[in-house]
Amino acid sequence: VIVLLCLLGLFLLLLLIACVNAARIAAKPRPAAKPAEGQALERADGYARSLSKMIACETVNPRGSDSSAKFARFREVLAECFPRVHAELEQTLIGDALLLKWKGRDPGRGAVALLAHSDVVEASGEWEHPPFAGEIADGCVWGRGAMDNKGNLCALLSAAEELLGEGFVPPCDVYIASSNNEETMGDGAPNTVAYLQKQGVRLDLVIDEGGAVVSAPMPGLKGSYAMMGIMEKGYADVRFTARSDGGHSSTPPKNTPLARLAAFVHHVEKHSPFKMKFTPPVKAMFRELAPYMRFPFRLLFGNLWLFGPLLKLAMPMVSGQAAALLKTTCVFTMAEGSGAPNVIPSSASVTANLRFMVHQARDESLAILRRLAEKYGLEMEVLYSSDCSPVADTGSERFRFVRRCVEEVFPEAPVAPYVMLGGTDSRHYSAICPCVVKFGPSILTPQQLASMHARNENFGVEALGRAVAFFRLVLTSYQ
């Protein structure tokens, strides 16, 4: 009884501390919104027309295809929309990846790189507006690539075009890089990085797509938040193969290739072999968001030291996205077996897609799966892999600079660091830059987020004006 009373007393004490801590993390009032830069909003219709032309130039680039003619035409469209950029910036083609150099006042300083890929994914299904018409309707520009990622490319080129017209010269060299095969994890970005390395270019800051200004990114939140990506999970495609002597389906042996694969897949799905953990970047995200949460959530997420174990159990029940923040994920996406229904295959395979988290990065996660596959008599082949990106230092001078720009252009949206579950070109730039920020200055509605790689993709005209204002501020205030 005494032991139980002591445990109860300890629990109540911890709960009291948590409540005090939650009260200390007082609910922050949301900042008041203010209009974006007036000039950018006045010109938003012109930006929308440029984006419309960019969307109408279809740049789907399937792996293994020759899409050079598409990108040659796309560069012609860019030259039409941004004549000063075309005339005054030094242009280099690395395959079909475009690299523009804007010479600064002091070329000896570390440079800045602004990234936005120009390829888009295919557009299937029925759309409200044709996917490659670039129609402007209902305050939005519609079409494949509007949001991912021609909208950001249009915004940064529009900012450069205007500043060139005003006679502005940046304090350091500025590179604008637009790869041609980001969607297929192609060689455009890595080849561009290799070129910059060969030229001896040193980058101090890279800004690419990633986070954005989104509505209620977590439970317990209301309103918009600017999520600045500070890292990307790793990535791998892995094939598992089971072999046998094959045979006819009328005399089936035990443990056929498909049976072993099914048992393996069931084990991974039912008993995930990967650990769940609140890593430092995830803790940083919740530390920034907790003060804006409603009280029950503020109590939980503001006291991870106490409620972390409970949340590790609860978050996977909320959504797959919540679980993916805490661990390496493995999902089986492809399967191959016999070519006929009455033939036992001599070999069968399943392919899985993995996304690594920093506490169990590529090598450890793959080793875990390899050991498990061996228990089921399977061969494992890594088809492609890349490790987790480095985590950006949110306390660094460059990161704080970008954050200030975000806060000025999007004052209504509290800023928080963000762990990216997908991949971008910027992960390659970590090799030549200490500060890689993954933030596209886009205001995205839930419908727009849902249209990512799906139907009815669009970008708000007013949001495009805000994006231009962001890039203007970055370029004119960078020191």
Mean pLDDT by 10 residues, the chain (479 residues): 52 54 58 57 91 99 96 99 99 98 96 99 97 98 98 98 98 99 97 98 98 94 97 98 91 93 98 97 96 93 94 90 95 96 96 98 98 98 97 97 98 96 96 98 95 97 97 97
Q: What angle do CA 433, 437, 439 make, to 5 degrees?
A: 150
| Terminal-residue alpha carbon distance, the chain | 66
Strand partners, 215: 224
Quote the longest CA-to-CA distance of the chain. 83
In the block, tokens 């492809």 appear at 334
State whether residue 348 is helix, strand or coil. strand
**Comma-separated ranges of CATH 3.40.630.10 domains in the chain:** 38-231+389-477
* pLDDT for residue 219: 87
Contact in structure between 324 and 240 (CB atoms under 8 Å):
no
C-beta separation of 329 from 323 below 8 A = yes
Torsional sign, CA 308, 312, 318, 323: positive
DSSP-H helix ranges across 89-179: 151-165
The active-site residue, picked from 58, 119, 183, 425, is 119
CA torsion through residues 367, 369, 370, 376, sign: positive
Taking the CB of residue 327, how many other CB atoms lie within 10 A of it?
24
CB 139 within 8 A of CB 460: yes
182 catalytic residue (yes or no): yes
Strand (E) or helix (H) holding 359: none
Written as six digits, the tokens of 160 are 């450069």
Angle separating helix axes 151-165 and 68-81, nearest 10 degrees: 40
Contact 382, 238 (CB under 8 A): yes
* The pLDDT of residue 26: 56
CB burial of residue 379 (10 Å; 0-12, 13-18, 19+): middle
Token reading at 149:
């990622």
The DSSP line for 419-467 is: EESS--GGGGGGGT-S-EEEEEEEEE-HHHHHTTTSSS-EEEHHHHHHH
- 347-355 and 329-336 strand pairing: antiparallel
290, amino acid identity: A
Chain centroid to Cα 338, Å, comes to: 37
> How far apart are the C-alpha atoms of 128 and 421, rounded to whole Å?
29
Supply the pLDDT for residue 319: 86
Nearest to 257 by CA among 186, 171, 347: 347
Give the DSSP letter of residue 426: G
Q: What is the pLDDT of residue 248?
A: 84
Burial of 420 from C-beta contacts in 10 A (0-12 / 13-18 / 19+)? buried
In this structure, the strands spanning 174-178 and 111-115 are parallel
Residues in Cβ contact with 196 at an 8 Å cutoff, skipping those fewer than 6 apart: 99, 175, 203, 432
What the block records as the tokens of 301 is 């997420």
pLDDT of residue 169: 98
Beta bridge pairs of residue 120: 60
| CATH code reported for the domain at 38-231+389-477 | 3.40.630.10
CA distance 7 to 15: 12
Q: State phi, psi for 282 to the nearest 5 degrees.
A: -70, -40
Sequence-distant (6+) residues with CB within 8 A of 274 are 327, 328, 329, 330, 357, 360, 365, 368
| Predicted local distance difference test score (pLDDT) of residue 458 | 98
How big is the chain by its Cα radius of gyration, in Å? 25
Q: Return the number of other C-beta atoms located less than 10 Å from residue 87's C-beta.
A: 10
Catalytic residue among 58, 96, 162, 182: 182
User: Which CATH number is 238-386's, of 3.30.70.20, 3.30.70.360, 3.55.40.20, 3.40.710.10?
Assistant: 3.30.70.360
- 303: which 2 tokens? 């006291």
In this prediction the pTM is 0.91
Q: What is the pLDDT of residue 432?
A: 97
Query: Which run of H or of E encompasses 59?
Result: none
389 burial (CB, 10 Å; 0-12 / 13-18 / 19+) is buried
For CATH 3.30.70.360, the residue range(s) in the chain are: 238-386
- The confidence score (pLDDT) of residue 27 equals 59
Backbone φ, ψ for residue 330 (5° rounding) = -140, 120
